[in-house]
Amino acid sequence: MALILTASLFSASALAAGYSEKRSGDLSDSGATPDPVKLKLGNNVISGKYGTKNGVTDRDYFTVKIPLGQQLSAIILEPETLVGINVSFIGIQKGKQVTVPPVGGTPDDLLGYTLYGTDDEGTDILPAIGQGDGAKGFVPPLGPGTYSFWVQETASCACRYRFTFQVTTPTE
**33 has pLDDT over 60:** yes
Q: Could you give the number of structural domains in the chain? A: 1
Q: Report the DSSP beta bridge partners of residue 161.
A: 48
The DSSP code for 27 is P
Q: What is the pLDDT of residue 158?
A: 77
Backbone angles phi, psi at 171, to 5 degrees: -85, -10
Q: Is residue 131 part of a domain?
A: yes
pLDDT tens across 41-71, in order? 999 999 999 988 888 889 999 999 999 999 9
Mean pLDDT over residues 11-39, rounded?
Answer: 85
Q: Is residue 98 part of a domain?
A: yes
**31 has pLDDT over 80:** yes
Q: Is residue 14 part of a domain?
A: no
Domain that holds residue 152: 19-168
pLDDT tens across 121-146, in order? 999 999 999 999 999 999 999 999 99
Q: Is residue 8 part of a domain?
A: no
Q: Is residue 13 part of a domain?
A: no
CA 14 to chain centre: 19
Residues 72/141, Cβ–Cβ less than 8 Å: yes
Q: Is residue 4 part of a domain?
A: no
Q: Is residue 141 part of a domain?
A: yes
End-to-end CA distance of the chain: 39
| CATH number for the domain that contains residue 98 | 2.60.120.380
